[in-house]
Structure 1
Amino acid sequence: MIDLLWLAVSIAVIVLLILKVKLHPAISLVIGTLLLGVLARISFGELAGVVTGGFGDLMAGIGLSVGFGIILGQLMSDSGGARVIARTLVGATSERFAMFGLAGAAFLLSIPVFYDVTFVILVPLAIAIAREARKPLPLAVGSVALGAGTAHTMVPPTPNPLAAGEILGFDVGIMLLVGGLGGLVAVLGGVALYSAILPRVWRPAVDVEGEPAMVEHAGVRREPGFLLALLPLAVPVVIILTGTAWTALAGELPGWAVLLTDKTVALLIGALVAYLVAARGMTRDEMNTSAGTAVQSAGIVLLVTGAGGAFGAVIEAAGIGDLIADVVSAFGGNAFVALLACYLVGMAFRVAVGSGTVASITTMTIMASLAPAIGVHPVWVAMACLAGALSLGHLNDSGFWVTARIPGFSVTGGLKVYTLPELIASVVALVFTLIGATVLPMG
């Protein structure tokens, strides 16, 4: 049991290095990983290999996929396709359901596009919708934050849910199905609850600091139509889900189908489709600049994600993952309690380090051996961990400041339009997970 103490010590060191020493999360994770390896008595000769092997194994599984997904999303944003999708979805709703349309647009856009980019794209639309539908601006802003944060946390090809399959050992198509459905439920339920709660807590005198800063978007010569704009996202999703369904119905896939439906190839095809769609309104140099920006963003994400993979490899090599599973089994293997623990651990990491990516990856690596001990499919463990990582973003999270400052809100206002709606969505997602694990454990 002393190894559980060493795990706690290494986690505390990681958090302190990020918060107090201000080291980059990737560096902090690697230092904490090496410390855990030493404390858990992994030999010095093996430790470096375990760390680099864990990093490399996770990168082999998701590195190219994440890169292609980020390029796809950047091209969708820069080509104007993301704005077309947002305007169309919001325009299809009535005034009564405008907030659901706004949150749904944010949810769909944030599947391939980073949270900050999605928010900046949707802020002018949120301001306009709030005025036209006679809804409070903070409700519109919070709905965007809720939709974007949920998708970015739970639906591949964003890094957190894409890594879930590699860390916990299941097909990414299952994550796409469960994460997509659970995320959609969290958005719909979350907006309904948020709409009821916000008027009770919003205080303009302290929550508003100034006028919204309107974000001007650089126009493209020719924006794509709605269906064309949606194509780069729809193509890889359909390909991946086809492979998952084919495997479930017919068993082993033929070789060509295994290649074509692999997530890396599917996202490569999606990125190529994004290039073709963007070519209608962007020059070759503009598209290459867009892809270069995406690659820079991908490098930071992959470094943090890979460091989390190294941490998981040391946990596995030290036998700590099995020890956690044994402890859960010794207490009766109660799935409800275990999934709630996953959620709370993810929440604790989100509060401590701010980054949802760090919180997700670290929590899933710690809980990677849990599913067999509680008799559920590992996707439910992933969902509980991801829901916890969504829960309590606050002042140490860059997304908080983007969400608070652009609409002109104070710190307290930011807590009510960023932290509160994402917390509500995370609780709805947790309830979905607990019900799903009970009704359809798939263990």
Structure 2
Amino acid sequence: MKSLGVLALGMGIGAIAMAGVLTQAQGANNSNIYKQFDLFSDAYEKVRENYVRPVQDQELMSGAIAGMVSSLDPHSSYMDAKAFADMQIQTKGEFGGIGIEVTMEDGLIKVISPIDDTPAAKAGLKTGDYIASINGDSIQGLGLNDAIDKMRGPVGTKVTLTILRQGEKKPFDVQLARAVIHVDSVKWHREGDIGYIRISAFNEETSKGLEKAVRELKKQIGSGLKGYVVDLRNDPGGLLDQAVQVSDDFLQKGEIVSTRGRHPEDTQRYDAKAGDITEGKPIVVLVNAGTASASEIVAGALQDHKRATIVGMTSFGKGSVQTIIPLGDGGGALRLTTARYYTPSGRSIQAEGIVPNIAVAQGSEENAPKIERPSEADLPGHLVNEDAAKKKKQEQSIIRPPAGKKVEDFQLSYALDMLHGKTAMAQAKAPAPQAH
């Protein structure tokens, strides 16, 4: 896959530059490749000569690469040099913007998750919202990176988003002030004799933050500590190595996750090392439809090893791994889907999600049916999960707040009751292993 990115950049204005790479000995396949390059060259020149305004070669080539990569699946994309630099800043835990994780769907920007304590979260943006326009300009026809770039800007300046939301009859505007986004990906506090740990993203500081949280909670609560709630709701994921380290912090041994690419030799397995930082205390993990990617790796590993009870609603279902492949000469980078990941029991959660051990709704009985669960399976061009397609889906009974009773956070309340022994932890069962 990496060679494809290099190949695209090498085409220049036409196919001539590639001729030296291809030899006659490569036979009939090369003849077909030449034809495709000739087709591209012809289209390139037609656009260059006939488009209504002059266009730069760099603009055309960037668009060609972006179109090639984005047509593969919803998570593959091309980043120009500026977008690549922004991405590198973001993974270090600090970047500018409004604080949302987004994807492109049906020509609109779809919110996967707002990041805690950012302008987007404070303004009330929700998982599943669609952004139809930015500052009054429709995003129809814009690429994902272009739309993201429009939402970014100097700190303190304002941006207005037009939002389409399930259950709302009309679009509505939300104005946000741009800010430097400091992603403290781990926060914690005590809930009486229980440690509550919120992980909002997986950046370079996440595992260190988790380890600090556990140390501090042990000091605060002392020997009476009954267990931990690990809140992964609306966590859009992030770095694979951090998901592995966070899982390892809770496990004594065994596989955490495996990634499998196009070729058998691409398979990698990640195993836990001895040492559980919680010393075996009970754990309840909270998930919902905004729980995606790296956070699903953690939930899946702890579920399969029966190390934690998973509570909440089925997660997003992003079971693919993207590799950042830098391109030469300041050409930016490809964010390319290179593998699928599998939980320790051999499950692919792609377009399926982590199904909680105990399904617990956050809303009331009356409102819950009106909420559409956003999912990887809803994204056009998503990778198909062939294993899941063969299985018959089983309906889960969902626990909801008692009629007439308002609870600020029913899922958290339920998790705390479990750790206090008011609700049976024995309901937790890991899924049966599947063949690798």
Bin for the TM-score computed over the shorter chain: under 0.3
**Greater strand share, 1 or 2?**
2
| Greater Rg over alpha carbons, structure | 2
TM-score (norm 2): 0.22
TM-score (norm 1): 0.22
Q: Which has the higher contact order (CA 8 A, sep 6+)?
A: 1
**Greater helix share, 1 or 2?**
1
